[in-house]
Structure 1
Amino acid sequence: MKFTELNLPDLVQQGVVDAGFESLTPVQEESIPLALAGKDVAAQAQTGTGKTAAFLISLFCKLLASGKRTSNNPRALVMAPTRELVVQICKDAETLGRHTGLKVQPIFGGVDYEKQRNALKDGVDIIVATPGRLIDYFKQRVFSMDRVEALVIDEADRMFDMGFIKDLRYILRKLPPFEKRQTMLFSATLSAQVMELAYEFMDLAEKVQIEPEQVAAEKIDQILYHVSRKEKFALLLGLLKKESGVERVMLFVNTKAEAERLNGLLNANEVASALLSGDIPQKKRMRILDQFKLGSLTHLVATDVASRGIHVDNVTHVINYDLPQDREDYVHRIGRTARAGATGRAISFADEETVYQLADIEDYLGEKVPSEMPLDEDFCFNYKRAIPKRKKPPEKKPAGDGQKRRRRRRPRRRPGGKPGENSAGDKDKSSGGGAPAGGGEKD
């Protein structure tokens, strides 16, 4: 089906053209007509299949049809589990909704507390948010949820995994009743937990389930190498030099310590790389992602915080430097490439520790991951070791109250005198005996 067959409003159709969309993906073809008809939708589809465009187009059409004006109380709410996903949804909304005049505001923690607060007061049509900060502003009465006409819950399965369900239920109870709003729920899996949420807070939701021929996204060329842990970096460096068509590479590891070590090795060997992990400040994370998207950074080392919610065009390679401990994370990691119909390559390393995860991953995929032993020419052992960071010397503790400590003077002894007597033959005050010098007057 073509987008022109949907009879979208002209202002929305122009955004679709700007985004370069022509034909609908399967999840769009099934969910958008239902949403345009005012139905509640619970949709399951793989990552990278156009779910974001499906609900944004539906939201824009609904809000334009209602004809209400922008105010400081939102008319639509989109909930997402990660800050990166919030940012990505807003960027897609900027393109698709460019001609609608609707104001979309991201709300998430880590940055711009007062700026986001003031933006809500200035007026907003659609809020795209993570639950925590949204609840914070709501409890401060910065905005009200009374005017919300439509709710979208994106990556609903991830909401459960990340422990957001309590916050999500709080928000749902503050919204208008489900019969007075439209609700759309999108998830990679419609688990029993997700469907329980649908039955409780949605109005007879229409279920859309796009079953892929395979769990992993199509057009991903997968390969796995069996390699010892000590030789992993030598193999990585050799493959990066050997692989063709390398433009942007995401490398996934399981721990922050390993991510720091790998990032240091890449940079020491003149590979433009940056680190993305959960404790990186939000402004820095966004700057790193912008550099990666623009191409000034070609390699991004990440923990699983980055395996969802990041959509970067032309990620040509995903490398599982460590096989993930959660089998579903394998699919989400390699899903960073081959998005929107493009092709990509996923390379995984199975060492003596992570190889035990392989059977579980293959069971989830429903197929074997093609594997082989690396050849001698695949390795590059002549590489530079990362220079360890120098530890800062411990700071000297202040003496206290800003005062310098005075060094206690020892009493001087007169030659041949007794301990505790000064040169004048008087006993020192510190010895505890006699009257003070100077005729017995106090200092």
Structure 2
Amino acid sequence: MPPPRAAVNDIATGSEFRSFDLAPQILDGLMDAGFHRCTEIQERTLPLSLRGRDVAAQAQTGSGKTAAFLITIFQRLMLPAPKKTGKEPRALVLAPTRELALQIYRDAQLLGRHTRLRFSVIYGGVSYRSQLDDLTAGLDMIVATPGRLIDYIKQKSVNLQRISILVIDEADRMLDMGFIADLRFILKRLPPYQRRQSMLFSATLSARVLELTYEYMNLPEEITANPEKPVVDTVVQLLYHVSGVDKLPLTLGLLRHESWERVLIFANTKSTVAWLAERLCQNGYSAEGLTGDLTQKQRTQIMTQYRQGKIPILVATDVASRGLHVEDISHVINYDIPQDREEYVHRIGRTARAGRTGKAITLACERFVYYLEPIEELIGQKIPLAWADDNWFVADSGRSTAAKSLGRQVPQRPPREGRKGRTSRRGPRPSEPSAKESEKRSPASPGQRPVDPKKRHRRP
């Protein structure tokens, strides 16, 4: 019979990691990383997971969930002291994307540096040889994407029958990306749920995610961290209404006038990403585009340069950026409004991490403005309007040329932003707001004026 359920909502906030009975080696790793006090998801998860309970937690990217499950894994593998258990892994972390798997592995290296535990990361798009060498040498923990792990299972290169703790990270994205059959294939090759501990983390605990927990977990505790507040409080959000042809000039103006360190720009299509990255380069900025068409070697090269600051501006699609974890992103720019309102939350969650502040700027053009109302409904607020001076619209210099780096294919003109004459409006075919209504929502300050959505061409 399972132990009684803990009163999750009664757990105090602001707990220090030293208040938990953690192995000294784990505490040393946390202190080295500068982690002293728990985030909310850690406070709610650790009292349960350290007791061996299964956990299904709703947590957003940047909430500290990775440290929550890594601490649990390390503690379980170390206490009692590690014994000679052979070469089979004892912990498995499943992630939907290569970037997320790599980030979890890097965090494990940082937090587990004093534990002497052996772990490796397995993902597709790279040579099998080095990963097979790690499996052959023996591991305590594997971080893996489903596809490549299944390859090794079918080759009989890995045995999962000694797994004592399982983590499924970003479960909702795993299902959205069509991995349900792969998940079932892997989970059926683990010990039954009664003989292992399982932890699941997801941005939403949807019916599909909960069905997965009921089938493969042992009476999991459901934990929700700030369900009513999907947007990080420290993100400053701004909205510019602008015509499609003025989005690039305004973006160039924002980069000129904003004080930024590292920028992540989102577009809805691969062609827009490639075109925009090229235009930024032609205007003197160091930028790269991240799309699903790149090889793993190209993606790794771009992400390494972005993390190192050699490329301070990254332009990406939502799919290509999944699992992307980079600190110190000061600005997120939604060049296109996302068509899925939850993607907006994922996008702006890339900035203002670990207590830092950040800014999220959204450009609402006539093509994508219809997706704004559902976003504001989700976040429970109107995104504050901002007005741009005429000198914030910077002319695009030169014509597009072929991309010089990584063989990028670039269209010679931007994708169309809708039929001529269409104006920026909110909602499905609404009437144009009156001047009085516009002033009521956000009056322009002296010396400024709003972008007139009826003007499709750049103002002189």
Fold shared, TM-score > 0.5 on shorter chain: yes
Counterpart for residue 341 of structure 2: 327
SS at match of 1:186: strand
SS at match of 1:141: coil
Partner residue of 1:216 out of 231, 252, 258 = 231
State the distance in 2 between where 1:70 and 1:222 align: 51
Counterpart for residue 414 of structure 1: none
Equivalent residue runs for 1:9-20 within 5 Å = 9-20=23-34
The CA RMSD over aligned residues, in Å, is: 1.6
Counterpart for residue 102 of structure 1: 117
Counterpart for residue 197 of structure 1: 212
| Contact 2:278 2:403 (8 Å CA) reproduced | no
Counterpart for residue 152 of structure 1: 167
Counterpart for residue 38 of structure 2: 24
State the distance in 2 between where 1:325 and 1:24 align: 34
Counterpart for residue 372 of structure 1: 386
Identity of aligned residues (%): 53
| Contact 2:282 2:400 (8 Å CA) reproduced | yes
State the distance in 1 between where 2:44 and 2:325 align: 23
CA apart distance, 1:46: 2.0
| Contact 1:307 1:336 (8 Å CA) reproduced | no
Q: Deviations over 1:316-339 (max 9, x none)?
A: 000011111111111111111001
State the distance in 2 between where 1:305 and 1:282 align: 14
CA apart distance, 1:133: 0.7
CA apart distance, 1:197: 0.9
CA apart distance, 1:212: 4.4
Partner residue of 1:385 out of 386, 396, 399 = 399
Equivalent residue runs for 1:17-416 within 5 Å = 17-66=31-80, 67-69=82-84, 71-244=86-259, 246-381=260-395, 383-388=397-402
State the distance in 1 between where 2:310 and 2:403 align: 24
State the distance in 2 between where 1:71 and 1:351 align: 59
State the distance in 2 between where 1:282 and 1:148 align: 29
The answer for unaligned runs of 5 or more in structure 2 is 1-14, 410-460
The answer for unaligned runs of 5 or more in structure 1 is 393-443
State the distance in 2 between where 1:131 and 1:192 align: 21
SS at match of 1:23: coil
| Contact 1:179 1:203 (8 Å CA) reproduced | yes
Instruction: Please tell me the residue identity of whatever aligns with 2:137.
Output: D
SS at match of 2:354: helix
CA apart distance, 1:375: 2.5
CA apart distance, 1:157: 0.8
- Paired residues, number: 391
Counterpart for residue 8 of structure 2: none
State the distance in 2 between where 1:334 and 1:160 align: 22
Counterpart for residue 429 of structure 2: none
TM-score normalised by length of structure 1:
0.86
Of residues 131-140 and 298-307 in structure 1, the stretch that sits farther from structure 2 once superposed is 298-307
Per the alignment, do residues 70 and 101 of structure 1 end up closer, same or farther by CA in structure 2, a change over 3 Å counting? farther
Per the alignment, do residues 314 and 290 of structure 1 end up closer, same or farther by CA in structure 2, a change over 3 Å counting? same
CA apart distance, 1:65: 1.4
CA apart distance, 1:272: 0.5
State the distance in 1 between where 2:396 and 2:56 align: 53
| Contact 1:70 1:102 (8 Å CA) reproduced | no
TM-score normalised by length of structure 2:
0.83
| Contact 1:70 1:125 (8 Å CA) reproduced | no
CA apart distance, 1:373: 4.0
SS at match of 1:20: coil
State the distance in 2 between where 1:183 and 1:68 align: 22
Instruction: Please tell me the residue identity of whatever aligns with 1:243.
Output: E
Q: Deviations over 1:52-76 (max 9, x none)?
A: 0000010000001152336431100
Instruction: Please tell me the residue identity of whatever aligns with 1:107.
Output: I
Q: Deviations over 1:133-172 (max 9, x none)?
A: 1011011100111100000000011111111011101111
State the distance in 1 between where 2:114 and 2:396 align: 55
| Contact 1:272 1:298 (8 Å CA) reproduced | yes
* Pair member with larger Rg: 1
Counterpart for residue 429 of structure 1: none
State the distance in 2 between where 1:111 and 1:38 align: 35
Equivalent residue runs for 1:407-426 within 5 Å = none
